[in-house]
């Protein structure tokens, strides 16, 4: 049998390349393709690759876990700060001490001391002011969450480009971060850690990397706790804006005399511009610099479409200016005097905001400053370091103006009116003559002016001449030294000392022969106050500046007026005689340069023997004014006496402050119901006030105008008022004693005043029941 034929294999092309496809998973077992051989590289290369792979994985895991840890830490810190933050209104005022606001006699603000503050809610701030702050401090304030990475990166770039460290200079802080600094990251002032509040604030504002890190959770916490408006409110209440103003409400009142809700666009730009450098850009320091800074803020507001073109042009054309009170900056010496003389816990160390209503008169102050400047510009050599001081009082001792030096725009400097104790010279002589007059001598009595030696001391007159027997009026008007000392020894030094000290000249005055020539030290305020006592008929006057001191928010004042009229020192008759003699000093004596034309005035010159001090103190019916001139280092004045430049300054000041005031003759005393010494007519008082009626009847009886009650009987009885009954009884007893009443015609030298009737005081006041009662009343006052 033949074999069947074999099948031939088809002819195919030779496969030169293997199939790149991997065998599918459905390939039957036994037919799977062979594995490709593993390529084996260099073992060193494979080791390096593996190492770096492990490092990368470890690094990535570290970064991830670190970020998670940071996130958790920030979250926990944020929650902690969030739980510690109080209500926003509790953060508005962060001061450790309060501020003092001073009002003049008309109730207008003229000075501030300490840091003044005024709370303002966010909705009470002018929209333009809010926009100005956001535009200049944090343009993305309403869009970020408390931190602005773009702002921080930009600030770092600018700092490094300008050659500073990344955290030096521009901080890139948001308003929220700045509030964090103002709040010192929640730390309160601790006196055991910081010396004072200034050091505390400086430490809080120091920029460090760690403080920047801590600001992050604190800022997040505030963003979670408060609204944007509340954060902005905290910022605008706590920010310091120069001039002692804390917060925008206080700054608006300080610089513009208005509330923060009332400021214009130009004023808003100026206030916002202060945030960069408050003291440097303060308009009270340099108004032009403040206006230039405000122009930058206006440009930012305009570029960010926060103000219209019209508002921008209007604000640029009419830049903000200071209020009248801020421009004047008047009363610096007066304000410092009040702060020093008042109780510390209500002035320099107060923890409350205090408002003081004062006696200060801005018109009188401005007139006095103008007059002083005019005299120095016209009469004193350029470059002279001579100084001057001026004090102006009203008749009752209220201080109306005070100049403590030629530089009148000051704060916290040496006050020559209250702090400089200088020899009084011949300005003390009126107190010697008052002692003699109070003992019964008359201005027309004679005293000898001739050579005199007491304990190897021989006084000399300024002219080196003697004038023989002269009247007391002549001795005072010519300021004769030997006659004054002879009169002092006759009246008794003890009497002169008592009168001078009770008038307020000083304490512990030296009991030496040269006392009458003013060889002791006193201040200008003390001397002017003593002359006010003479002006008021012999009653001591204590200068005062406070009418009322009130803590803000309280209805009743803490302190009322402390000063004014005091006890009687010399009789009214003696005071009237002394005033007539001092009138002659101006009319025909050493004070001729102080004449005020037809206005009635009296005063006295004063020059020390070494010419180191020159004085002129005098008064009219309206004002008592003292002037001192000299050098701070006690250099002798060249060609200057009290009757020279001081008298001219006094005349210029008094002429200015009396502008538009009526001409009133001297002799009307405060507290005498408008009566004049020597008029001989008591005031007429009628009504239901038994005390007033009793006093009126008594004065009328003393003046000889009414017969009064029968001797020994009360003038008013059964009034029901113990004080009135006591006075009435005393008046009845006084009549029973029948004091002698003398009509002593007083010759008024000088300006045409006729003789006036006067009454003598009782010989012994200790035996006078009315005087005893009245002294008791004065003691109560």
**pLDDT of 748 above 50:** no
* Number of residues written out for the chain: 781
Q: What is the pLDDT of residues 51-94, one digit of tens each?
A: 778 888 788 888 887 778 878 888 888 888 888 888 888 888 76
Residue-level pLDDT at 506: 83
Distance (Å, rounded) from C-alpha 475 to C-alpha 460?
13
Cα-based distances in Å from 598 to 477, 644, 754: 19, 21, 16
Q: Which residues of 533-543 are buried (b: 16+ CB within 10 A; e: fewer)?
A: bbbbbbbbbbb
Other CB atoms within a 10 A radius of the CB of residue 36 amount to 8
What's the rounded mean pLDDT across residues 681-703? 39
Domain boundaries, the chain: 115-328, 373-657, 691-780
pLDDT in the model for residue 238: 87
Query: What pLDDT digit, counting tens, does each position of 274-284 carry?
Result: 999 998 999 98
Can you tell me the mean pLDDT for 28-41? 54
Q: What is the pLDDT of residue 355?
A: 87
Phi, psi angle pair for 386, to nearest 5°: -60, 145
Query: How much is the pLDDT for 240?
Result: 87
Do the domains 115-328 and 373-657 sit in the same CATH topology, yes or no? Answer: no
pLDDT category at 311 given cuts 50, 70, 90 is very high
pLDDT at 591: 94
φ, ψ at 697 (rounded to 5°): -65, -40
Of 618, 356, 590, 344, the residue nearest 484 (C-alpha): 590
Predicted local distance difference test score (pLDDT) of residue 639: 81
Q: What is the mean pLDDT of residues 22-31?
A: 50
pLDDT of residue 34: 57
Q: pLDDT band at 5, cuts 50/70/90?
A: low
Lowest mean pLDDT among 265-269, 285-289, 338-342, 733-737: 733-737
For 581-586, what is the mean pLDDT? 96
In DSSP terms, which residues pair with 387 in a beta bridge? Answer: 630
Which of 317-331, 352-366, 565-579 is the least confident region?
Answer: 317-331
Q: Is the pLDDT of residue 195 over 70?
A: yes
Whole-number Cα distances in Å, 552 to 221, 346, 350, 353, 356? 33, 12, 12, 6, 10
**CATH top-level class for 373-657?**
alpha beta
531 pLDDT band, cuts 50/70/90, is very high
Assigned fold of 115-328:
Penicillin binding protein transpeptidase fold (1.10.3810)
**pTM, entire model:** 0.69
Helices and strands in the chain, H and E counts? 25, 18
Q: Which of 113-117, 221-225, 350-354, 752-756 has the highest mean pLDDT?
A: 221-225
pLDDT above 90 covers what percent of the chain? 44
Structural contact between residues 237 and 247, judged by C-beta atoms closer than 8 angstroms:
yes
DSSP letters for 453-490: -BTTB----TTS---EEEEHHHHHHTT-HHHHHHHHHH
Average pLDDT over residues 107-128: 83
**pLDDT attached to residue 405:** 92
Percent pLDDT > 70 in the chain is 76
- What are the angstrom distances between the C-alpha of 760 and each of 112, 698, 775? 50, 15, 18
pLDDT, tens digit, 9 for 90 and up, residues 628-653: 999 999 999 988 889 999 999 999 99
- Cβ atoms of 200 and 184 within 8 Å: the answer is yes
| Mean pLDDT value of segment 577-587 | 96
Distance separating alpha carbons of residues 167 and 347, to the nearest angstrom: 40
- On whether the CB atoms of residues 716 and 724 are closer than 8 A, the answer is yes
Nearest CA among 593, 591, 571 for reference residue 429: 591
35-39, 185-189, 275-279, 440-444: least confidently modelled range:
35-39
- Mean pLDDT rounded to a whole number for the chain: 79
- In this prediction, residue 168 has a pLDDT band, given cuts at 50, 70 and 90, of low
Exposed e or buried b per residue across 271-304, where buried means at least 16 C-beta atoms within 10 angstroms of its C-beta: bbbbbeebeebbbbeebeebbebbbebbebbbee
Residue 729 has what pLDDT? Answer: 53
Task: Give the SS3 label for residue 608.
Answer: coil
pLDDT band per the 50, 70, 90 thresholds, residue 627: very high
Q: What distance in Å separates the CA atoms of residue 407 and residue 335, rounded to the nearest whole number? A: 15
> Tokens representing 416?
């020559």
């Amino acid at each position: 049998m033949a074999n069947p034929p074999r099948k031939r294999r088809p002819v195919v092309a030779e496969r030169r390349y293997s199939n790149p496809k991997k065998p599918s998973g459905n390939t039957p077992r036994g037919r799977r393709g062979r594995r490709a051989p593993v390529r084996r590289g260099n073992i060193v290369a494979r080791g390096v690759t593996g190492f770096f792979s492990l490092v990368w994985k470890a690094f990535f895991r570290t970064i991830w876990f670190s970020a998670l840890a940071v996130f958790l830490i920030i979250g926990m810190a944020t929650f902690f700060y969030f739980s510690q933050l109080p209500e926003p209104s509790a953060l508005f005022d962060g001061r450790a001490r309060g501020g003092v606001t001073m009002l003049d006699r008309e109730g207008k603000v003229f000075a501030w001391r300490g840091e003044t503050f005024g709370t303002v809610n966010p909705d009470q701030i002018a929209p333009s002011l809010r926009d100005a702050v956001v535009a200049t401090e944090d343009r993305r304030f309403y869009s970020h969450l408390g931190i602005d990475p773009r702002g921080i990166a930009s600030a770092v770039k600018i700092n490094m480009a300008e050659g500073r460290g990344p955290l030096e200079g521009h901080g890139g802080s948001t308003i929220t971060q700045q509030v964090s600094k103002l709040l010192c990251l929640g730390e309160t002032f601790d006196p055991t850690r910081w010396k004072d509040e200034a050091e505390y604030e400086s430490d809080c504002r120091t920029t460090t990397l760690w403080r920047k890190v801590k600001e992050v959770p604190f800022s997040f916490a505030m963003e979670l706790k408060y609204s944007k408006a509340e954060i902005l409110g905290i910022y605008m209440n706590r920010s310091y804006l120069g001039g002692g103003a804390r917060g925008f409400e206080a700054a608006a009142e300080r610089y513009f005399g208005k509330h923060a809700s009332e400021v214009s666009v130009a004023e808003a730009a100026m206030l916002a511009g202060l945030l960069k450098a408050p003291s440097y850009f303060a308009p009270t320091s340099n108004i032009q610099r403040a206006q230039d800074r405000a122009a930058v803020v206006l440009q930012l507001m305009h570029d960010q479409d926060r103000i219209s073109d019209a508002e921008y042009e209007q604000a640029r054309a009419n830049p903000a200016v200071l209020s009248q009170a801020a421009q004047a900056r008047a009363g610096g010496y007066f304000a410092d005097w009040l702060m020093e003389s008042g109780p510390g816990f209500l002035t320099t160390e107060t923890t409350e905001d205090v408002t003081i209503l004062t006696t200060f008169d801005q018109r009188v102050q401005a007139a006095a400053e103008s007059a002083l400047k005019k005299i120095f510009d016209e009469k004193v050599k350029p470059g002279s370091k001579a100084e001057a001081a001026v004090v102006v009082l009203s008749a009752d001792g209220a201080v109306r103006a005070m100049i403590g030096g030629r530089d009148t725009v000051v704060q916290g400097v040496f006050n020559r009116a209250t702090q400089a104790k200088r020899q009084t010279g011949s300005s003390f002589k009126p107190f010697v003559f008052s002692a003699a007059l109070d003992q019964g001598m008359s201005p027309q009595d004679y005293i000898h002016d001739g050579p005199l030696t007491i304990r190897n001391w021989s006084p000399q007159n300024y002219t080196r001449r003697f004038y023989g027997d002269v009247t007391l009026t002549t001795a005072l008007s010519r300021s004769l030294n030997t006659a004054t000392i002879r009169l002092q020894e006759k009246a008794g030094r003890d009497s002169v000392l008592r009168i001078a000290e009770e008038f307020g000249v000083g304490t512990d005055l030296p009991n030496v022969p040269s006392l009458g020539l003013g060889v002791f030290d006193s201040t200008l305020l003390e001397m002017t106050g003593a002359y006010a006592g003479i002006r008021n008929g012999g009653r001591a006057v204590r200068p005062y500046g406070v009418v009322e001191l009130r803590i803000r928010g309280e209805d009743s004042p803490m302190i009322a007026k402390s000063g004014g009229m005091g006890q009687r020192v010399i009789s009214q008759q003696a005071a009237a005689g002394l005033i007539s003699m001092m009138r002659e000093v101006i009319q025909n004596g050493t004070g001729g340069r102080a004449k005020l034309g037809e206005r009635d005035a009296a005063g006295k010159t004063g020059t020390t023997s070494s010419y180191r001090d020159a004085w002129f103190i005098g008064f009219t019916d309206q004002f008592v004014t003292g002037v001192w001139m000299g050098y701070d280092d006690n250099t002798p004045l060249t060609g200057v006496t009290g009757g020279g430049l001081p008298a001219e300054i006094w005349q210029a000041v008094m002429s200015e402050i009396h502008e538009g005031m009526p001409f009133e003759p001297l002799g009307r005393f405060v507290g005498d119901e408008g009566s004049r010494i020597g008029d001989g007519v008591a005031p007429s008082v009628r009504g239901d006030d038994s005390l007033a009626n009793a006093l009126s009847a008594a004065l009328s009886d003393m003046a000889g105008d009414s017969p009064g009650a029968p001797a020994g009987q009360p003038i008013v009885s059964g009034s029901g008022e113990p004080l009135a009954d006591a006075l009435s009884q005393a008046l009845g007893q006084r009549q029973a004693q029948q004091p002698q009443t003398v009509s002593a015609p007083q010759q008024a030298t000088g300006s045409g005043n006729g003789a006036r009737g006067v009454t003598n005081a009782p010989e012994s006041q200790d035996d006078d029941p009315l005087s005893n009662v009245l002294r008791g009343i004065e003691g109560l006052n």
